[in-house]
C-alpha cells in the first residue's frame, strides 16, 4: 500500500514540476518576442511556411515576404497606404467554414451512404 501512495505522490510531483517549468519557459518566450524598436503589425499566410508581413521599424513600415528559408524585403509603405479593412471585407475574405455545419453535412452524407441526391 505504501508503494502505491509513494508512486501517486511522485507522479503528482512530476506533473507539478512540469507545470512550473512550462510556465517559466512560456514567460521567457514572451519576453524574447518583444522589441522596443520593431513591431509586427499584420501578416497573411499565403501557403505552408509562406507569409507576407507588415513590420514597423521606427517610423517606417516595411512589407516583407517570409518563407522557411529566407525573409525578403518587398516594399516600403507610407502611412496613407495602410488602410484597415472594414469588418465586412474581412468577413468576405476570411470566411471560415463553420465546424457544426461541416459535421452536419458529413453526417448526412454518411446516412445516405456517401451518395449525393
- The pLDDT score that the predictor gives to residue 65 is 93
28-85 residue pLDDT tens: 655 556 678 888 888 888 888 899 999 999 889 999 999 989 999 999 998 888 888 7
- Residue 5, φ and ψ in degrees, nearest 5: -65, -45
| Extents of the domains making up the chain | 1-34, 39-91
- Grid-cell match 512560456, residue found: 26
Amino acid at each position: 500500500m505504501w508503494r502505491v501512495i509513494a508512486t501517486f505522490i511522485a507522479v503528482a510531483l512530476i506533473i507539478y514540476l512540469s507545470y512550473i517549468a512550462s510556465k517559466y519557459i512560456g514567460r521567457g518566450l514572451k519576453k524574447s518576442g518583444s522589441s522596443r524598436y520593431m513591431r509586427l503589425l499584420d501578416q497573411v499566410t499565403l501557403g505552408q511556411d509562406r507569409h507576407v508581413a507588415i513590420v514597423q521599424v521606427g517610423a517606417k513600415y516595411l512589407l516583407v515576404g517570409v518563407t522557411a528559408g529566407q525573409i525578403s524585403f518587398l516594399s516600403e509603405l507610407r502611412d496613407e497606404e495602410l488602410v484597415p479593412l472594414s469588418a465586412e471585407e474581412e468577413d468576405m475574405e476570411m470566411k471560415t467554414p463553420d465546424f457544426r455545419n461541416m459535421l452536419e453535412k458529413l453526417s448526412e452524407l454518411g446516412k445516405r451512404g456517401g451518395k449525393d441526391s
